[in-house]
Amino acid sequence: MHNNYYFLRQLSQALEKILLRTVISECFSQSKDELIIRFETDSKPFFIKASLLPSFSCLSFPDDFSRARKNSVDLFGQLIGQRVQSVRQFKNERSFALILSNDLSLLFKMLGKEGALDLFKSSMTQDAEIDLSTLDREIDWSLEYFVKHQDKIQSHYFTFGKLLWKYLDEQHFDSVSPEQKWKAIQQLVQQLENPAQYYIASREQSLVFSLLPVGSVIKEFKDPVRATTEFYYAFIQQQAFQQERAALLSSIRSKLESSESYYRKNEEKLFEIENDNNYKVWADLIMANLHTLKPGVEKIVLPSFYPPYDPVEIKLKKELAPQKNAAVYYRKAKNQHIEIERLQKTLEGKRKEIENLNAQLERAGSAADLKALRAYLQESGLKPKEKKQLPSLPYHEFEHKGFRIWVGKNAQSNDELTVRLGYKEDLWLHAKDVAGSHVLIKHQAGKSFPKDVIERAAQLAAYYSKRKNESLCPVVVTPKKFVRKRKGDPAGAVVVEREEVIMVEAVK
């Protein structure tokens, strides 16, 4: 109900007392679907924060607001310096306007999930020419009208909204006569037009704002300005809580599903191995019948002394003696036993992991609010570790024919590249007689610098210099050992003791 007509009616009255004769000093936005308006009063500034997200539109009134230095844009420049003359609430409409000096008005249309501040949303161009006098709407509250239209009364009493109709349903509205229904509605309208308090409540697992004590009341307010501001912060916090909890639960469920799938597959594998004792049986049968077996046989059929005592066909390696074939099967049986122990150990660890994930799922699901959820994340170690930001390299790196080419980013990084990171065997390049990047071709042991690699590095030196747009650029080429920096020289300045110059085009 924070955008309901009956609340906006109270809010606009309260705002008029605060804003009358104040002057607008700033209108700006520093994030999508948000507008901040600053008013200069006799004491401290007053702020209106219009949050107009597609999923949630709401007005709030922060005590203070610090404008960001970056990513901030001024809006409604024609309003700056205008004085507030009145605040007009439109009858039976979720809209009000700040009536300003010089025949200007700022219209707020609070349309629930499609809330908009006129002229702020370019998609609502038809509102640019709106006639404010047409916004008032009439409702016939008479008994005769109610009786005549009671089958579709919700569309005629459009100021109520879903929450109020649900409230009436809970008062057994449908079980009484038309006259009693009408009286109940009249009483409700009187309550809404003169609310004693404003409520933030929890209803059907959602946070709601109401002029009536619905659901489980969390906070009560006398001041509509404070009430909607507190609701905005509570809603945003709950939204963050729900999003973080949903992401956490999804992550845990995904791990749980993966662990349970892994457990089932390995449990099936363990069952198969535990019930496959053929290797041991075959080895025992071969050893029990050594006296009857001849070398060079590829398979034999022997009577089993294990239930169900059926004859058993055993494959043999003909190049091995019967006793060696038995040893092969004993070794395979031993490996099976090792595999069984490994699988049992793995399954036990995975079982504990599944129990832990189920406990995490229950604990995260039972977190009552954002503070409790984040405390649990910290305590359990589930909070993602912040990635350490690696220091930025002082150079751009290129590669040509297997050689690394380093190009300094600025004057300071030129110094670091040449003085600290350069080795005497490296080849150093720089556009002649102009400011530009130092360039190094990194030396490779046992290899000389190919001509085309030098030309490529020279093209980069030309591109990252003040000669970038010239048709040909002279570039100094010299071993790094002939480049030195004198004490007291500015950043990027060096002395070159020996040099060659080649002419190249500037190419990145």
Is 270 within 8 Å of 340 (Cβ atoms)?
A: yes
- Number of alpha carbons in the 13 Å side-chain half-sphere of residue 447: 15
Structure-block tokens of residue 142: 């008479």
Nearest to 337 by CA among 417, 401, 283, 293: 283
Q: What is the pLDDT of residue 384?
A: 67
* For range 7-19, the mean pLDDT: 95
Length of the chain: 508
Q: What are phi and psi of 436, to 5 degrees?
A: 180, 180
Q: Please tell me the predicted confidence (pLDDT) of residue 365.
A: 87
Is the bond leading into 322 cis (omega within 30 degrees of zero)? Answer: no
Contacts of 354-363 with C-beta under 8 Å, sequence gap 24+, read 354/256, 354/259, 354/260, 354/263, 357/252, 357/255, 357/256, 357/259, 358/256, 360/252, 361/249, 361/252, 361/253, 361/256
- 228, 2 Cβ separation under 8 angstroms: yes
| Res 128: pLDDT | 62
- Pull the structure tokens for residue 231: 């609701």
Distance CA 386, CA 82 (A): 47
Distances (CA, A) of 489 to 409, 485, 492: 18, 7, 8
Each residue's pLDDT tens digit, 408-467: 999 889 999 998 899 999 999 999 999 999 999 999 988 999 999 999 999 999 999 999
pLDDT of residue 454: 95
> What band does 328 get if pLDDT is binned at 50, 70 and 90?
very high
Report pLDDT for 93: 92
Give the model's pLDDT for residue 36: 93
pLDDT band at 341 (very low <50, low <70, confident <90, very high): very high
- The sign one gets for the Cα dihedral 15, 18, 21, 27 is negative
What is d(CA 405, CA 453) in angstroms, rounded to the nearest whole number? 9
User: 84-88, 160-164, 469-473: which has the highest mean pLDDT?
Assistant: 84-88
The structure's pTM equals: 0.62
Beta-bridge partners for 28: 36, 74
Reported confidence tier of residue 117, pLDDT bands at 50, 70, 90 = very low
Helices 224-274 and 370-380 cross at an angle (nearest 10°) of: 40
Give the pLDDT confidence score for residue 508 in this predicted structure: 87
* pLDDT value, residue 134: 87
- Which pLDDT does position 164 carry in this prediction? 86
User: What share of the chain in percent tops pLDDT 70?
Assistant: 95
pLDDT of 258 over the 50 cut: yes
Q: Cβ contacts of residue 231 below 8 Å, gap of 6+? A: 2, 58, 200, 207, 209
pLDDT tier, 122 (very low <50, low <70, confident <90, very high otherwise): very low
Q: Is the pLDDT of residue 116 over 50?
A: no
Residue 115: the pLDDT is 46
Evaluate the CA torsion angle 155, 97, 87, 28 in order and state its sign.
positive
Token output for 391:
């220091």
Mean pLDDT along residues 308-329: 91
Amino acid at 354: I
Q: Quick one: pLDDT at residue 383?
A: 73
Backbone angles phi, psi at 108, to 5 degrees: -105, 120
Say if residue 378's pLDDT is above 90. Answer: no
